Structure 1
Amino acid sequence: MQTSIDHPLIVLASKSPRRRYLLNKVGLSFSVIPSNIDETTVSMSSPHDYVKALAEEKAKSISEKYTESWVIGADTIVLIGSTILGKPNSTKEARAMLKRLSGRNHQVITGYAICCKSKDRYFSETVETKVCFKKLTDSEIEWYIHTEEPFDKAG
């Protein structure tokens, strides 16, 4: 298949800097076309099903236009107890999340989907990582917030 700007071979259906970094790290050539799906319309029967469904929706929404491309969609949540943490929307929210995570264990759950509509190929699954978070001081929390890193990832 011929690759061009209009028909990229691999499309990342996400504006996540972390996902771009990972694909660049393995040397893949890809285009970034965020899906912009309405995440509130995806029902949640379980955290794993939720992130998997979001990843599938993101990939499928982009594959409708880029039918010849391999499209990658992904979504990540942080689960602490029975509470789901997404990306913080403010400094105050980031501070509260970090204080909640400090010194505790939590799960990071990522769903990903890869599809190519023209080949009728679809694959998706979830991956869970258990994280032991060290106890953070207030100054460590403030320093981390100042880096702005908390705002491009869940939890």
Structure 2
Amino acid sequence: MEDKTSPFKVILGSSSIARRKILAEMGYEFTLMSADIDEKGIRKETPEELVIALAEAKAEAILHRLPIGDYIKEAEPTLLITSDQVVVYEGAVREKPANEKEAREYIKGYSSGHAATVGSVLVTNLKTGFRKGEWDRVEIYFHEIPDEVIEKLIEEGTVLHVAGGLLIEHPLIKPYVKQVVGTTDSVMGLPKALTEKLIKEAL
């Protein structure tokens, strides 16, 4: 593996444990900042536009808290990475389930069916002001998911905290994932190839 101790710094603008893990797997060292935004206040026509707008709103919120002048003066650039993700099911955007009842409905819908994740990555170079974002879409097909598995998932609780109540790496659900068209890292919140590409462009 190539050495990524490179002449730039990275801030991950997210509190997601999965995104943190993926960025670390990519070999980057980074600091964390989370953006407190009203996600419900942002609405767009398509899921693709929505996730880009949310990643931009997160970047803006974090930028307001940073001493930008200091970053401009520094020799090496600092890159801020923000991202967002939604689940799309039958054309409708799904965010985190409101309660157990909704989580149950969501997962029953995936049984023998399919859903997609649409995720965005936005990289902002704090030194130059360069900013670019793109989105990535992954299609996920499921076998039939038995009711008792759905109940176990809800009892266990993780599904209540993820967009669309959708998990594919969870040991309870993994056996019922038929096909993933795209990459697992993208489903988990940060597409590695896209992030790598945007980092290169931002430098």
Q: TM-score, normalised by structure 1?
A: 0.85
Aligned residues: 148
Measure, in 2, the Cα distance between the counterparts of 1:85 and 1:100: 12
Return 5+ residue gaps in structure 1 as ranges. Answer: 1-7
Over the aligned positions, Cα root-mean-square deviation in angstroms equals 1.9
Q: Any residues of structure 2 matched to 1:31-110 within 5 Å, and which? A: 31-66=31-66, 67=68, 68=71, 69-110=78-119
Counterpart of 1:29, as a letter, is: E
Counterpart of 2:158, as a letter, is: E
* Equivalent in 104, 119, 127 of residue 118 of structure 1: 127
Residue 153 (structure 2) pairs with residue 144 (structure 1): yes
Find the residue that maps to 1:110 and give its secondary structure: strand
> Are the equivalent residues in 2 in contact too, given 1:79–1:108 (CA < 8 A)?
yes
Residue 29 (structure 2) pairs with residue 20 (structure 1): no
Structure 1 residue 55 displacement after superposition: 0.8
Measure, in 2, the Cα distance between the counterparts of 1:39 and 1:88: 14
Return 5+ residue gaps in structure 2 as ranges. Answer: 1-7, 72-77, 165-203
1:4 corresponds to which residue? none
Find the residue that maps to 2:153 and give its secondary structure: helix
Structure 1 residue 126 displacement after superposition: 0.6
Measure, in 2, the Cα distance between the counterparts of 1:95 and 1:64: 39
Identity %: 26
> Are the equivalent residues in 2 in contact too, given 1:55–1:73 (CA < 8 A)?
yes
Measure, in 2, the Cα distance between the counterparts of 1:29 and 1:152: 26
Measure, in 1, the Cα distance between the counterparts of 2:102 and 2:50: 22
Structure 1 residue 141 displacement after superposition: 1.0
Measure, in 2, the Cα distance between the counterparts of 1:63 and 1:151: 30
Measure, in 2, the Cα distance between the counterparts of 1:115 and 1:64: 13
> Are the equivalent residues in 2 in contact too, given 1:17–1:152 (CA < 8 A)?
no
Measure, in 1, the Cα distance between the counterparts of 2:115 and 2:102: 18
Structure 1 residue 106 displacement after superposition: 1.6
Measure, in 1, the Cα distance between the counterparts of 2:37 and 2:127: 21
Structure 1 residue 64 displacement after superposition: 3.2
Counterpart of 1:51, as a letter, is: V
Structure 1 residue 138 displacement after superposition: 0.8
